Structure 1
Amino acid sequence: MKKIVICGGHLTPALALIEQFENDKNCQILFFGRKYATEGSESLSAEYRVITQKGIRFFSVETGRLQRKFTKFTIPSLLKIPLGFLESFIFLLIERPTLIISFGGYLSVPVVFSGWLLGIATIAHEQSIIPGLATKINSIFAKKLFLSWPQTLSYFPKEKCQVIGNLIRKSIFKTSAKSIKISQFLNKSKKLILITGGNQGSHFLNKLVFTSLDIFDNYHIFHQVGTANFKGDWDFAARLKQKNYLAIDYIQPEDIGAVLNKASVVISRSGANTVWELAALAKPAILVPLPIAALGEQKANAKILEKAGSSIVIGQKDTDSKVIKTAVGQIITDYAKYKNDAQKFQKTLPLDAALKMALFIRKFCV
């Protein structure tokens, strides 16, 4: 049996690929990731929770990164960078996988570089229209680059690249939830709004929800707070008791489809995987791009759906309760238009990226 290492900070496409190998007896998946949600956090990351629940061997790589702003964790994070390379090298030396698959993020860099030193082939997938620094570095050592958007081709050597779209989980197309608590809430929900800042969560969006619940009296609110529990966001959300509000720290893969399909409107950041899934399900959305995202990546992602006519994009500095209320009202009032535009764009998306990537990977498993 051949060993395949999956690494990187983007869990959603990794799960889509893992689904392709669940019954494959020729390949064994190993996962290199972060155990904790953020630097200095005691909360387990979404990737650690989900991957270990699947019974996949998880290797915790403790490495640092170049942070976008100076905090008390900046210096300790920089000092951990050599540790990440050492851990990655030792893990790979012991396990001797046939292939490394990178989904970007700072954690992937020491894994890919160490693999190159050991003569282990790497393939990478970039989800964003503007590639992150990690994928740019990894592309030097990677054998093959799979891209989500044709616009990204200009950043890399074309002979290495193939545009296949983003990998999408089968679970997002499911309409029933495994969780009884979630299922009961969805069954009673009318005009459901999903609010999410991604797996780790967004303190800005969380705080906006906490101070604006009164403007959502006519809606049911499903709030994914995130695993980071930054400034006690999850602790605060768990104490809120309103019939039209349900908070979850992380929506499990077996429940995400039911929540997304039930939602009339989604309010979220505009990470690449969020944007792709909203497009794949033709969901009208209000997007608040993370302003400090590398090279304006989230703004570029959001512009894709804004141009398609399915979303309203609002800058973080312009976002408050009044603006959100107006945007929600605008979409609900003209819902047929937003939904129709979303469905038109949905038809342009390739939805078989996970299968295409799996077929390429299986060449290494024979």
Structure 2
Amino acid sequence: MSRFIIACGGTGGHLSPGIALAEALVARGHTVTLFISHKKVDTRLVEKYPHLPAERVPSAPFGWRPDVHLRFHWKQTQGLLFSLRFMRATRPDAIIGFGGFTNAGVVLAGRLRGIPVALHEANRVPGLAIRVLSRFAARLYLPPGVRLPGIRGVMVRHTGLPVRNEITRLPRDEARARLGLDPAQKLLVILGGSQGSGNLNQWAEQNLAALAHEGVQVYCVTGLGKGSEGVRELHGKSGQAVRSTFVAFSDRVGVLMSAADLVLSRAGAGTLAELVRCETPAVLMPYPHAADNHQWVNATYFEQQGGGVVVADHALAGLHQEVIDVIFNDWLLNKFRLNLHRMSQENSIDTIVHDLESLASGTPPPGHLRPTPAASAP
């Protein structure tokens, strides 16, 4: 059996697929260590998985502002030294990184020690970490149809994002019973990603009464430190009680999405993969300041595949009507669910696990994997 390091910290969108892959590798008898950041969101999520060893590697995000730039180089140097010491002690057989600022030190350390490296990009616009570090990789996993210009000698495979086993579609009434929600009323779930969204939280507060008037209950995950928690009770136009819930964090994403008639969210790749797994329609409002506008590209592809609709952040004023039009259109919701069911058929974890096993053991890659010539832009 092999020993793997999975570098996946910094955001839930990096950590969640890392956990999913780790559990699949452990189930096949391998040894895995997660490399995560010191951020609260990482600590909160890994607490659920005490059977998965995790190391908090020194790291910091990149930026051009002088103090941010200096901190990046200082922390990444610490991360490189930490990774070298760890690898000297544990001798891993392979490393896989899911992008983000925790990847640099461990990938460079792996290259220096001759350990094969794989990288996974979930977004439809490859991020800075993947673009820079791919020159050190033996494997690169990209979303279907995505190309990375200018890379040579890397084995590329197109596959989706691993999703944790616990995130799975449940019967709607069962999911609502677990959450204590009304089974008869429409439910809008609002997600701002692992960091939360101030704009979506504010929109929820401002439109809560109007949504309740239409008989729509709301479950809003605000993000840690980005909103007040609690249950609000308002009344619909027929006088019925309509309760809405605000929480800072939820580790029951599969239950939430299964309970929802509609999800309103940002468009991080992790959220979209979970929506597909739970076959839950969505109105997506991409974060407009995401690097390289990758959330807009993610959301547009999701819409083109028939999983939901996209609303630009600057169109916030029309969002209420869009939500009402979709959530009460049962024909459209069913059409979205059928499309999402089609999208959910791929098993990306098995694809990646089998390929990583061959990488760790030194087995030649499958015949359909080829060294990549310089590619054109997507």
In the superposition, the TM-score normalised over structure 2's length comes to 0.81
State the SS of the aligned residue for 1:21. helix
What aligned pairs does 1:307-326 form with structure 2 within 5 A after superposition? 307-320=304-317, 323-326=318-321
Q: Residues 288 and 314 of structure 1 are in contact (CA less than 8 Å); yes or no, is this contact kept in structure 2?
A: yes
Mapped pair 1:327 → 2:322: yes
Mapped pair 1:62 → 2:63: no
Q: Residues of 2 paired with 1:155 and 1:12: CA distance?
A: 29
Q: Residues of 1 paired with 2:264 and 2:295: CA distance?
A: 14
Match of 1:201 in 2: 196
Any stretches of 5+ residues in structure 1 without a counterpart? 37-43
Mapped pair 1:94 → 2:76: no
Q: Residues of 2 paired with 1:315 and 1:165: CA distance?
A: 25
Match of 1:39 in 2: none
| CA-CA distance at 1:105 after TM superposition | 0.9
User: CA 1:208/1:57 → structure 2, altered by over 3 Å: closer, same or farther?
Assistant: same
Q: Residues of 1 paired with 2:179 and 2:272: CA distance?
A: 27
Q: Deviations over 1:232-265 (max 9, x none)?
A: x2xx42255436222233322xx22221111111
User: CA 1:328/1:281 → structure 2, altered by over 3 Å: closer, same or farther?
Assistant: same
Match of 1:11 in 2: 15
One-letter identity of the residue aligned with 2:62: L
State the SS of the aligned residue for 2:180. helix
Equivalent of 1:146 in 141, 165, 170: 141
One-letter identity of the residue aligned with 1:34: S
Mapped pair 1:251 → 2:247: no
Q: How many residues get paired?
A: 345
Q: Residues of 2 paired with 1:156 and 1:215: CA distance?
A: 51
Runs of 4+ in 1 over 6 A off after TM superposition: 71-74, 179-182
Any stretches of 5+ residues in structure 2 without a counterpart? 234-241, 363-378
Match of 1:266 in 2: 263
| CA-CA distance at 1:87 after TM superposition | 2.4
State the SS of the aligned residue for 1:244. strand
What aligned pairs does 1:204-283 form with structure 2 within 5 A after superposition? 204-217=199-212, 218-227=215-224, 229=225, 233=226, 236-239=227-230, 241-242=232-233, 244-252=243-251, 255-283=252-280
State the SS of the aligned residue for 1:161. strand
| CA-CA distance at 1:159 after TM superposition | 5.3
| CA-CA distance at 1:306 after TM superposition | 2.1
Mapped pair 1:340 → 2:335: yes
| CA-CA distance at 1:361 after TM superposition | 2.3
Mapped pair 1:35 → 2:26: no
| CA-CA distance at 1:103 after TM superposition | 0.8
Computing the radius of gyration from Cα coordinates, the structure with the larger value is 2
Match of 2:376 in 1: none
User: CA 1:95/1:203 → structure 2, altered by over 3 Å: closer, same or farther?
Assistant: farther
Q: Residues of 2 paired with 1:71 and 1:238: CA distance?
A: 37
One-letter identity of the residue aligned with 2:105: P
State the SS of the aligned residue for 2:229. helix
User: CA 1:248/1:181 → structure 2, altered by over 3 Å: closer, same or farther?
Assistant: farther
Q: Residues 188 and 263 of structure 2 are in contact (CA less than 8 Å); yes or no, is this contact kept in structure 1?
A: yes
Cα RMSD (Å) of the superposition? 2.9
| CA-CA distance at 1:273 after TM superposition | 1.8
Mapped pair 1:291 → 2:288: yes
Q: Residues of 2 paired with 1:282 and 1:31: CA distance?
A: 29
Q: Residues of 1 paired with 2:75 and 2:287: CA distance?
A: 25
Q: Residues 140 and 154 of structure 2 are in contact (CA less than 8 Å); yes or no, is this contact kept in structure 1?
A: no
User: CA 1:239/1:53 → structure 2, altered by over 3 Å: closer, same or farther?
Assistant: closer
User: CA 1:163/1:76 → structure 2, altered by over 3 Å: closer, same or farther?
Assistant: closer
